[in-house]
Structure 1
């Protein structure tokens, strides 16, 4: 199985907070397979898009271990890796409670991506007009 990952250039205004932006997808013709994500000391915001199913925005906490999961063709992910030491200023929460976790951030209602982010649209969805709030809760035992 092959994973296509494309890096997106980062504007100078984002560089103090974001170290990397990428778009990742599994090609349709490759079928399902195991995906391995290596340990990563930085937190990241990930917009996961599953066409025809759902879209969500999650915060991926730092990982001290590799993450293994079954990857399916079709969905894709836009990920913004947060510079070390800057997650709390962006998220309003320290990353200590996020370690080894993926936490939902802002629910994105079906169809709202097309209406809110279409080319030339000046409207913003309600989800993007308020600060990101995380309901971290206790870490699983």
Structure 2
């Protein structure tokens, strides 16, 4: 099974907190494996009339499809999930947690209910994290810290608490996600150079560590065996 993802307009209360909102609709019969991509973002996902929080995912997950339902996903901006949810984001890495566990007492069964809850929360000062995210896509950690006039240790502490993964891990996941988006559309050697790897072997090793298979096998559809059943996870 695969999914067709369509971006939808963010409600006003979500716009300061979220990068985008989308609906993924299943296309039955197109594949036997559901891929949950590695992702450095924290997302909110509406499943079976209740929201769950999906923390940063450090490795790809492969599942057998079970339920054939559309799924609404809200991708939070880097650095804001901790203030929004009330805990360090590093505590959410590779976890899926019901939103009601983090916001007890709220009725969180639809987008409008979450929108009302958001309106009562205050945005944090996320300028350092936002600037670091932009720089890390083209600069190493030490250069990013120097440009931001902070120590690497301070950057790592603030970034990990508010994003969930370290700056170095963020950059690694970001590169792999870029390769995922382009792997079916070009030569792997050219792609390695475009995405900031030392060479193709560096890209292959990093991709394999995160995705479970090297890029050539992934492109060919030779994926790891699925682990259990799951509905769609973004």
TM-score interval w.r.t. the shorter chain? 0.5 to 0.7
Q: In the superposition, relative to structure 1, how do residues 8 and 89 fare at CA in structure 2: closer, same or farther (>3 Å)? A: same
- What is the root-mean-square deviation of aligned Cα atoms in Å? 3.2
Tell me the TM-score normalized by structure 2: 0.41
Structure 1 gap segments, 5+ residues each: 50-54, 118-123, 132-141
User: Is residue 26 of structure 2 the alignment partner of residue 26 of structure 1?
Assistant: yes
Q: CA deviation at 1:8?
A: 0.8
- Indicate if the aligned counterparts of 2:2 and 2:30 stay in contact, CA closer than 8 A: no
1:61 alignment partner, one of 30, 45, 55: 55
In structure 1, distance between residues paired with 2:12 and 2:116: 23
In structure 2, distance between residues paired with 1:57 and 1:13: 17
1:66-105 mapped onto 2 (5 Å cutoff)? 66-72=60-66, 74-105=68-99
User: Is residue 9 of structure 2 the alignment partner of residue 6 of structure 1?
Assistant: no
- SS of 2:100's equivalent in the other structure is strand
Q: CA deviation at 1:65?
A: 0.6
- The number of residue pairs the alignment matches comes to 112
1:67-117 Cα distance to aligned partner (Å, 9 max, x none): 22122352121110110000012111121110011111228xxxx99xx86
Query: 1:106 maps to what in 2?
Result: 100
Q: Runs (4+) of structure 1 moved beyond 6 Å? A: 127-131
Q: CA deviation at 1:15?
A: 2.9
Structure 2 gap segments, 5+ residues each: 102-106, 119-234
Structure with the higher strand share, 1 or 2? 1
- Indicate if the aligned counterparts of 1:25 and 1:73 stay in contact, CA closer than 8 A: no
- SS of 1:84's equivalent in the other structure is coil
Q: In the superposition, relative to structure 1, how do residues 32 and 56 fare at CA in structure 2: closer, same or farther (>3 Å)? A: farther
- Indicate if the aligned counterparts of 2:14 and 2:115 stay in contact, CA closer than 8 A: no
